[in-house]
Amino acid sequence: MADVDRAVDGAHAALGNLQKEDGHWVFELEADATIPSEYVLLEHYLDRIDPEKENKIGVYLRRIQGEHGGWPLYYGGNFDLSASVKAYFALKIIGDDLNADHMRRAREAILAHGGAARSNVFTRIQLALYGEVPWSATPVMPVELMLLPRTAFFSIWNMAYWSRVVVASLLVLSALKPKAINPKDVHIPELFVEPPAQVKDWIKGPYRSVWGRVFKHLDTALRPILPLIPKKIHEKAIQEAVKFIEPRLGVGGLGAIYPAMANVIMMYRAFGVPDTDARVVKAWQAIQDLLVTKEDEIYCQPCVSPVWDTGLSGLAMLEAASGLNPQKREETINKLKKSAEWLRKKQILDVKGDWAINAPNVRPGGWAFQYENDYYPDVDDTAVVGMLLHRLDPKENQEAIERAREWIIGMQSTNGGWGAFDIDNDLEALNHIPFSDHGALLDPPTADVSARCVSFLCQLGHPEDRPVIEKGIEYLRKEQEKEGCWFGRWGTNYIYGTWSVLCALNIAGISYNDPMIRRAVTWLKDVQRSDGGWGEDCATYEGTAPGVYKESLPSQTAWAVLALMAVGERDSEMVKKGIQFLKDQQDENGEWHEEPYNAVGFPKVFYLRYHGYKQFFPLMALSRYRNLLSSNSGRVEYGF
């Protein structure tokens, strides 16, 4: 027990030292080569080139190049054509020698995979903005979509929030067809197997369903019709796009995600708006705030995660400061009260965002993922923050908790689950339009987010919420995979999903002998590695066996141990071995290390590495184990 105490003490101190003066935490959020490459291309598109920044981005891009010659979507991943085309273009425009070994290998790999013509839609749009390919290389996405009512099939309101904000500005760019300044006049004809002007099959299979073929024919049919749309309607549609975009231009940028921010800046440039305009200044600064600058490297994050990081760090610190042998309880509680104050100020209480289209009578009360994103609060963040505030001081935080509860209940979808940002955002056919070759146009309910909402509502314990909770539990029961695990939509992957659900089932009072719980426990036992840990990488989103990886990782091991402890497995050999693995992997500074990515933006196309996960989840697991050992019931009494 003494060694567990030492591990908790070291991890508690390490995480506590990273807390900001105002009480919040924020860690790096790293994606792949795509966003840093796009940032370099944006500088050259606008002729706003910062040589020092782009040279440091070049260092980053060269470092993460794969052994296969191209760039993967996650650590150790396979070659990805689209990421590789963008990274190669960025390095060439930075000034890398085409005969350098890394450029030669990249070029050969790209051509071996069909060349830039076979890259994805977003990459081809980027290339069209540079004049590398004709606009006919991109799917038909007329700006007139902005005029469609909510009930229309192709309405932007049927898309997920991230799609909506990216598409709105992209439709304007597609309508105006601007071209990059590209002051160095750099181009990439060498990445095409045949000249772009000769390519006739820009949009081709394999299609994921019959809908893909239907929409391909529709795309073909619409092309000759679009030029016939009256100019007046065309201009009205552009105005409607701007009308949608501008109210959502906060300090954090449109949607607080990089692609939408970049599109907005290019849109304003196409309108002839000067860079000194307040809207452009704000948008440009929002992008600068995404850059992570180190001594010799820079990369651009897709967004920032302070609310999520603060909620999770706070829960880990609170668990460490609880029990019979708490870690610096008074000091920790005082610091967490600063976190609570910071979080309360971030709660969105006055803005009815896009979510209100489907819930007009629900009051706002959620939190966004980022520092500011008032139109797009996040259900998952809201549940986590609500659980932290409730556990920390339910009386002082009562008003914030109640507003969060009201909003979470109002955001439940018809099938009993919860999506991340919207209700019933599940018009699956839209994922098969040519524009959506990434298959992530929607935000349907998922097991991990739904489990968090069930956990939050159960922790609050309002009897009148039981029908909502029961619908959520029934949804989770239906979502269990045949192996016994649950899919992790926002964390990697089945271990994350299973941890999320088992925490919810415990606090909901589901018997540990329930068959779905026993199946999940058996699955976790089956995928535990010989060293006592658990590991899983993003390849499981691409068809590899759930919960399996070549090494054990601190994040996944912590999730597995927390999941097992939530359903009465405190004294099992599985948990003991997992705890031992976490102790063994901790360094002398109280920290853990892992390189593989631990989360996902869009399965198969965009993955994430939360740099904080390897720190606060192991702390939470070790602290809970210590606390449960001294507990008479051995039962986890909280939702998380």
DSSP codes of every residue in 514-575 = SHHHHHHHHHHHHH--TTS-----GGGGGTSPTT--SS--HHHHHHHHHHHHHTT-TTSHHH
Torsion of the alpha carbons at 472, 473, 474 and 476, rounded to the nearest 10: 90
Residue holding tokens 């304003």?
268
CA dist 243 → 144, 147, 239, 247, 414 (Å):
13, 11, 6, 7, 31
- Split into its structural domains, the chain has a count of 2
Claim to verify: residue 574 and residue 529 sit in the same structural domain: yes
Question: Which two structure tokens, joined as six digits, stand for 525?
Answer: 């036992």
Last-in-domain residue among 272, 300, 328: 300
Reported for 399-402, long-range contacts at CB under 8 A and 24+ positions apart, including other chains, are 400/343, 400/344, 400/347, 401/460, 402/365
CA dist 377 → 14, 280, 383, 400, 460 (Å):
30, 24, 11, 14, 20
Cis previous bond, 247, omega within 30: no
What single DSSP character describes residue 596?
Answer: S
Last-in-domain residue among 248, 275, 300: 300
Q: What gap in Å lies between CA 205 and CA 636, rounded to an integer?
A: 49
- The set of catalytic residues is 380
Nearest to 74 by CA among 542, 559, 573: 542
Claim to verify: residue 491 and residue 538 sit in the same structural domain: yes
Helix then strand then coil, in percent of the chain rounded to 5, is 55, 5, 40
The pLDDT of residue 216 is 82
Phi–psi pair at 425, nearest 5 degrees: -90, 70
Nearest to 10 by CA among 615, 535, 474: 615
Claim to verify: residue 83 and residue 225 sit in the same structural domain: yes
Nearest to 306 by CA among 397, 390, 378, 355: 378
Claim to verify: residue 364 and residue 320 sit in the same structural domain: yes
Claim to verify: residue 309 and residue 456 sit in the same structural domain: yes
Claim to verify: residue 508 and residue 605 sit in the same structural domain: yes
Q: What gap in Å lies between CA 388 and CA 368, rounded to an integer?
A: 15
The pLDDT of residue 437 is 76
The H or E element that residue 608 is part of is: strand 606-610
Claim to verify: residue 493 and residue 534 sit in the same structural domain: yes
Q: Quick one: three-class SS letters along 111-175?
A: HHCCCHHHCCHHHHHHHHHCCCCCHHHCCCCCHHHHHCCCCCCCCHHHCCHHHHHHHHHHHHHHH
Q: What gap in Å lies between CA 339 and CA 318, rounded to an integer?
A: 11
Claim to verify: residue 452 and residue 588 sit in the same structural domain: yes
What single DSSP character describes residue 32?
Answer: -
Please indicate, yes or no, if residue 454 is contained in any of the structural domains.
yes
Claim to verify: residue 131 and residue 253 sit in the same structural domain: yes
Q: Report helix, strand or coil for 620.
A: helix
* Beta bridge mates, 178: none
Q: How many CB atoms lie within 10 A of CB 139?
A: 20
Range of the domain at 50: 29-300
**Chain length of the chain:** 640
Amino acid at 520: A
**For position 167, which CATH number holds?**
1.50.10.20
Please indicate, yes or no, if residue 202 is contained in any of the structural domains.
yes
Q: Report helix, strand or coil for 288.
A: helix
- Do 591 and 14 contact (CB within 8 A), yes or no? yes
Q: How many CB atoms lie within 10 A of CB 455?
A: 28
Last-in-domain residue among 300, 335, 362: 300
In terms of DSSP H, where are the helices of 246-365?
A: 258-271, 278-288, 306-320, 329-346
- Do 411 and 418 contact (CB within 8 A), yes or no? yes
Please indicate, yes or no, if residue 417 is contained in any of the structural domains.
no
Please indicate, yes or no, if residue 337 is contained in any of the structural domains.
yes
Q: What gap in Å lies between CA 372 and CA 350, rounded to an integer?
A: 13
CA dist 277 → 45, 269, 471, 615 (Å):
18, 11, 49, 41
Nearest to 524 by CA among 492, 491, 546, 541: 546
Claim to verify: residue 254 and residue 352 sit in the same structural domain: no
CB neighbour list of residue 70: distance below 8 Å, 6 or more residues apart:
79, 80, 81, 83, 84, 87, 106, 109, 110, 113
Q: What gap in Å lies between CA 203 and CA 220, rounded to an integer?
A: 10
Please indicate, yes or no, if residue 425 is contained in any of the structural domains.
no
Burial (CB < 10 A; 0-12, 13-18, 19+), residue 45, is buried
Q: How many CB atoms lie within 10 A of CB 631?
A: 15
Please indicate, yes or no, if residue 126 is contained in any of the structural domains.
yes
Cα within 13 Å of Cα(66), Cβ side: 22
Claim to verify: residue 206 and residue 230 sit in the same structural domain: yes
Question: Which two structure tokens, joined as six digits, stand for 608?
Answer: 């994430």
Q: What gap in Å lies between CA 290 and CA 299, rounded to an integer?
A: 8
Claim to verify: residue 230 and residue 356 sit in the same structural domain: no
Torsion of the alpha carbons at 246, 248, 253 and 255, rounded to the nearest 10: -130
Please indicate, yes or no, if residue 42 is contained in any of the structural domains.
yes
Please indicate, yes or no, if residue 151 is contained in any of the structural domains.
yes
Question: Which regions of 17-152 does DSSP assign to beta strands (E)?
Answer: 29-30
Q: If the chain, 640 residues long, is cut into consecutive pieces of 10 residues, what is the mean pLDDT of each piece?
A: 90 98 98 98 98 97 98 97 98 97 98 96 96 95 94 93 95 96 98 95 77 80 86 96 95 94 97 96 96 97 98 98 91 97 98 96 97 97 98 97 98 98 93 80 96 98 98 98 97 97 98 98 98 96 95 98 97 97 97 97 94 98 96 89
Residue holding tokens 């929409």?
215
Phi–psi pair at 35, nearest 5 degrees: -65, -45
Amino acid at 166: V
CB neighbour list of residue 437: distance below 8 Å, 6 or more residues apart:
120, 121
Q: What gap in Å lies between CA 389 and CA 400, rounded to an integer?
A: 8
